[in-house]
Structure 1
Amino acid sequence: MPTGIRRQNPQMTVSLDSQPMWRHPAFADGVREMAGVAIGLGAWGLVTGVAMVKSGLGVPLSVMMSLLVFAGSAQLASLPLLAAGAPLWVVWATAFCVNLRFVIFSAGWRNYFGSLPQRRRIVLGYFTTDLNYVCFLRRYPDQRPQEGQEPYFWGGVLVNWVAWQVLSMLGIVLADVIPTAWGLGFAGTLALVGLTGSLLKDRATWVAAAVAGCASVAAYALPFKLNIVVSIAVAVALGVLMDHQARALKSQGEV
């Protein structure tokens, strides 16, 4: 697959664009950087695989959910609702709210891959994850297309997807063998906390996370885990408000 982005130096264009993407040096960099967190991702996938089966989905539906959904936080959030017999709209609303962060991610990815064909961008969207986005921004902070970005992306998501699916399938197969006393549900919660902490990078995100936590505790008595929806709605509203105020202050300073 071609990289889709060419170097400005014509002497380098042919050699980089004509080779398979997996042979690009940036592909190896993506594999290497994501490999450092592959164990944690795999453990989270194992937790999710066990949770799906123990929630009553069964092996076939669990396998299908792991392959098609590929969104650990949304899966873990919706499973208790499915087990409790919550209305389908509540399950969909919860998964939608949990995955709202990918709307923000998509806006960021557009700066890098917006010129690619739509079908190709849809495929990229399926493989996008939180840590992949964080690692990508750390390597390419300028938010503009550069040579090697797509190979780097594919190198990272390859490790991410394989680690997740292999351990998720293992958890699905061994769900009846792994005892609940191991506390895998709590391990999944810790994994989500660690993931959230890696995304807190400025004052606005820290404040939004703190408010979301307080709102979730305050609304804990709501049925069907609706406190999750409430906390996300409050955090998003606060984040938008703070971003609007920051832009207004910046524009006033420029004037």
Structure 2
Amino acid sequence: MLDSWRRLRRDPDFHAGAREMAGIALGIGAWGLVTGVAMVKSGLGVPLSLLMTLTVFAGSAQLSALPLIAAGAPIWVVWATAACVNLRFVIFSAGWRPYFAHLPRRQRLLMGYVSGDLNYVCFMRRYPEPVPAPGQLAYYWGGVAVNWCAWQAMSILGIVLADQVPTEWGLGFAGTLALLGLTGSLLTDRATWIAAAVAACAAVAAYALPLRLNIVVAIAAAVAVGIVLDHWKPAQRPGAA
């Protein structure tokens, strides 16, 4: 396995993936720092926060689950919220399937763990044709290696230094800004803009629900709208011709 990793690191496509992700790594690291501090400030403590950042590796799910954990919400609510927030990775996995379905399952599971939103965006921009091709795997690993290291390094730094960070710095607001920046990068067409608008309206309308369940409502509304739009567009093509 070490020999395979050494060969991969020498691949020009690996370096191409790493270079493209390096330009985004500063923002990813800032988000990781905010999340690391937020975990400790929510009462998890350093050991549990380290365990969470290394095993969960999903900033949006972590930030969504933290207030529920702090409020003593039932575990099923925490799990359901995290699962709903991460539903987008089902879409990412379906998008990556034509490229990597031929790989062993163990390798695909590892690739799923280290994948990130912006890795998907960069990969699809470079390889728009959904067919396996030389260099794709190396490019993928170059991008996710930089993404994972940037996130974990800064998240762990935030966890270790959390007690030195004053609460009045407003890190929760900084985390919200980081999530908004990520969301903006994923709004690439009319359908995603409509789904995002519906999710925002649903979240505000259901704000009074307990245990932050308005987040679940917003995600369900966005997914429903996305499904409707996905089925509606093909139906319009024959009539438009």
TM-score band by shorter chain is over 0.9
Distance 1:116 1:251 in 2: 38
Tell me how far 1:183 sits from its aligned partner. 1.4
User: What residue number does 1:10 align with?
Assistant: none
Counterpart of 1:30 (choices 7, 13, 17) is 17
Residue identity in the other structure for 1:166:
A
The TM-score with structure 2 as length reference comes to 0.96
Counterpart of 2:215 (choices 203, 228, 236) is 228
User: What residue number does 1:70 align with?
Assistant: 57
User: What residue number does 2:160 align with?
Assistant: 173
Larger-Rg structure: 1
**Structure 1: runs of 5 or more not aligned:** 3-16
Tell me how far 1:182 sits from its aligned partner. 1.3
Residue identity in the other structure for 2:142:
G
Distance 2:212 2:90 in 1: 23
User: What residue number does 1:117 align with?
Assistant: 104
User: What residue number does 1:98 align with?
Assistant: 85
Q: Secondary structure at the match of 2:130?
A: coil
Q: Secondary structure at the match of 1:37?
A: helix
User: What residue number does 1:5 align with?
Assistant: none
Distance 1:250 1:27 in 2: 40
How do 1:157-196 and structure 2 match up within 5 A? 157-196=144-183
User: What residue number does 2:131 align with?
Assistant: 144
**C-alpha deviations, 1:197-235, integer Å up to 9, x for none?**
111111110000001000000000000000000000000
Distance 2:237 2:124 in 1: 23
How do 1:16-55 and structure 2 match up within 5 A? 20-55=7-42
Counterpart of 1:133 (choices 100, 116, 120) is 120
**Structure 2: runs of 5 or more not aligned:** none
User: What residue number does 1:89 align with?
Assistant: 76
Q: Secondary structure at the match of 2:146?
A: helix
User: What residue number does 1:13 align with?
Assistant: none
Counterpart of 1:243 (choices 209, 215, 230) is 230
Does residue 154 (structure 1) correspond to residue 141 (structure 2)? The answer is yes
Residue identity in the other structure for 1:82:
I
Percentage of pairs with the same residue: 69
Does residue 207 (structure 1) correspond to residue 187 (structure 2)? The answer is no
Q: Secondary structure at the match of 1:176?
A: helix
Distance 1:203 1:96 in 2: 25
Relative to its length, the structure with more helix (as a share) is: 2
User: What residue number does 1:198 align with?
Assistant: 185
Tell me how far 1:252 sits from its aligned partner. 5.5
